[in-house]
């Protein structure tokens, strides 16, 4: 089935064509007709499947031309996601005469107030700042016809659900609601029950599985050699663009500096950076000015960074869902990618959790050219253990080594 068969409006089809999309993705095939019919939809497809267009295209087809608004409200957990979804809407609606608005925190109110005063048809927002605007009376939601709660599980993780509920209370009951979430924990299930009308559930692929186009492997290594191995991998692998994920902002800064010293063009993205620095990092990475983006998990979900050839988990993610989200950066919309995870001895438990979560074993491998100082053994169950420095160390200390008898 082609986009033209789905019942989208003519100017929206022109937008699709201008974007170069030829065939709808599976979530688009399923969601577009339902949303056009006016159904509430829950989508559990992960990012990289074309889910933004899956809700943007039917909604844009239905709202037609500009009118008093906002008539569409899209809530996003982070400002980067809000900005990215706004970019997608803008591109897809280029043949429609509608006004888009974007409100998020961390920047002044002036420009947002001006845009809201002039009127917007589609509003993309993060919950906290939108609630501020509601309280200040700079925006009203009484004309909202379409509400999208994107990355709902992420909004829950970030503690936004109470704000989200307050925002929904300001929208008319007659609205159509779509919710996207990789997982549906109890709090999201309660929100669905409260906010949605007999929703249709669309599940694309196994909810937990990472993109099938990604080849993922684990490099066991001792902590002390992580930096060295990272450098060696970057030398060995022919990457076009790579995102390196670190556990903390501090570690991201440290790795960023380390790689700059090795003459890589690096940008660092985490929540301690100013909005301007974050935008500069993302834009530079998208434009190819930086070949490496070092990021914390804030960048892991949903951000549309095309053509990432590799994802490297410098640190094993603490939550299994984050593994799926991180490696979702590569293999997006069918292009292939590789995901590498450096696994230190203490990470075994987290890796086991990830493997249980995704329902598959991740291959362990070794960089042949790398000088593993503490020789790392691959055990039968696929973990690693440090080889005891028995012989060498004892001999250095002038003792002889006798194997212990059992």
- List residues binding ligand AMP (CB under 6 A): 21, 23-25, 28, 47-53, 304, 306, 332-333
Least separation in angstroms between CB 311 and ligand AMP: 15
**Toward ligand AMP, which CB reaches closer, 25 or 330?**
25
DSSP assignment string, 41-95? EEE-PPTTSSHHHHHHHHHHHHH-S--SS--EEEE-SSHHHHHHHHHHHHHHTTT
Give the Cα separation of 209 and 160 in Å (integer).
26
Beta strands in 214-355 (DSSP E): 214-220, 242-245, 266-269, 292-295, 310-313, 337-343
**Toward ligand AMP, which CB reaches closer, 147 or 204?**
204
CB 206 within 8 A of CB 359: yes
**Toward ligand AMP, which CB reaches closer, 50 or 210?**
50
**Toward ligand AMP, which CB reaches closer, 48 or 199?**
48
Least separation in angstroms between CB 280 and ligand AMP: 21
Query: CA–CA distance from 220 to each of 170, 345, 366, 382 (Å)?
Result: 51, 8, 7, 10
Least separation in angstroms between CB 216 and ligand AMP: 19
Least separation in angstroms between CB 81 and ligand AMP: 9
Least separation in angstroms between CB 273 and ligand AMP: 22
CB 320 within 8 A of CB 358: yes
**Toward ligand AMP, which CB reaches closer, 86 or 163?**
86
Provide the 8-state DSSP code for 403.
P
**Toward ligand AMP, which CB reaches closer, 219 or 285?**
285
Give the Cα separation of 160 and 80 in Å (integer).
16
Find the farthest-apart pair of alpha carbons in the chain and give their distance in angstroms, rounded: 87
Least separation in angstroms between CB 263 and ligand AMP: 30
**Toward ligand AMP, which CB reaches closer, 52 or 112?**
52
Strand bridging mode 384-386 / 376-378: antiparallel
Residue 294: name the closest of 329, 318, 331 by CA: 329
**Toward ligand AMP, which CB reaches closer, 209 or 371?**
209
Least separation in angstroms between CB 213 and ligand AMP: 12
Least separation in angstroms between CB 303 and ligand AMP: 8
**Toward ligand AMP, which CB reaches closer, 17 or 261?**
17
Query: CA angle, 54 as apex, 53 and 56 as ends, to 5°?
Result: 55
Query: And the tokens for 385?
Result: 């253990």
Report the sign of the C-alpha dihedral through residues 150, 152, 155, 157, in that order: negative
Least separation in angstroms between CB 233 and ligand AMP: 26
Helix residue ranges per DSSP H, 288-344: 320-327
Secondary structure class of 295 (helix, strand, coil): strand
């Amino acid at each position: 089935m082609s986009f033209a068969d789905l019942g989208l409006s003519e100017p929206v089809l022109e937008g699709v064509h201008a974007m170069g999309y030829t065939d709808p993705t599976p979530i688009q095939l399923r969601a577009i007709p339902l949303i056009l019919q006016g159904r509430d939809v829950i989508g559990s497809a992960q990012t990289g499947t074309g889910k933004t267009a899956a809700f943007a295209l039917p909604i844009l087809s239905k709202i037609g031309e500009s009118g008093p608004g906002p008539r569409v409200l899209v809530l996003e957990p982070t400002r980067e996601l809000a900005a990215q979804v706004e970019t997608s809407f803008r591109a897809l609606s280029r043949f429609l005469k509608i006004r888009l608005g974007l409100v998020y925190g961390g920047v002044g109110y002036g420009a947002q107030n001006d845009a809201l005063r002039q009127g917007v048809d589609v509003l993309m927002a993060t919950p906290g700042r939108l609630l501020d605007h509601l309280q200040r009376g700079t925006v009203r939601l009484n004309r909202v016809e379409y509400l999208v709660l994107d990355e709902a599980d992420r909004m829950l993780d970030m503690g936004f659900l109470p704000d989200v509920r307050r925002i929904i209370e300001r929208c008319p009951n007659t609205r159509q609601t779509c919710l996207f979430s990789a997982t549906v924990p109890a709090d999201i299930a309660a929100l669905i029950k409260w906010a949605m009308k007999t929703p249709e559930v669309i599940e694309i692929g196994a909810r937990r599985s990472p993109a099938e186009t990604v080849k993922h492997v684990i490099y066991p290594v001792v902590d002390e050699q992580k930096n060295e191995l990272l450098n060696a991998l970057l030398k060995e692998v022919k990457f076009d663009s790579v995102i390196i994920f670190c556990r903390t902002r501090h570690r991201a800064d440290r790795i960023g500096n380390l790689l700059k010293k090795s003459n890589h063009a690096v940008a660092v993205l985490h929540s301690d950076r100013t909005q301007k620095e974050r935008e500069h990092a993302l834009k530079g990475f998208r434009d190819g000015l930086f070949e490496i983006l070092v990021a914390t998990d804030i960048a892991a979900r949903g951000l549309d960074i095309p053509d990432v050839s590799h994802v490297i988990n410098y640190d094993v993610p603490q939550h299994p869902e984050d593994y799926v989200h991180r490696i979702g950066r590569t293999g997006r919309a069918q292009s292939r990618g590789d995901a590498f995870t450096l696994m230190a001895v203490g990470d075994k438990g987290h890796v086991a959790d990830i493997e249980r979560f995704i329902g598959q074993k991740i291959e362990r491998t070794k960089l042949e050219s790398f000088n593993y100082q503490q020789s790392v053994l691959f055990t039968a169950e696929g973990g690693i253990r440090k080889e005891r420095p028995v012989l060498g160390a004892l001999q250095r200390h002038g003792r002889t080594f006798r194997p212990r008898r059992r």
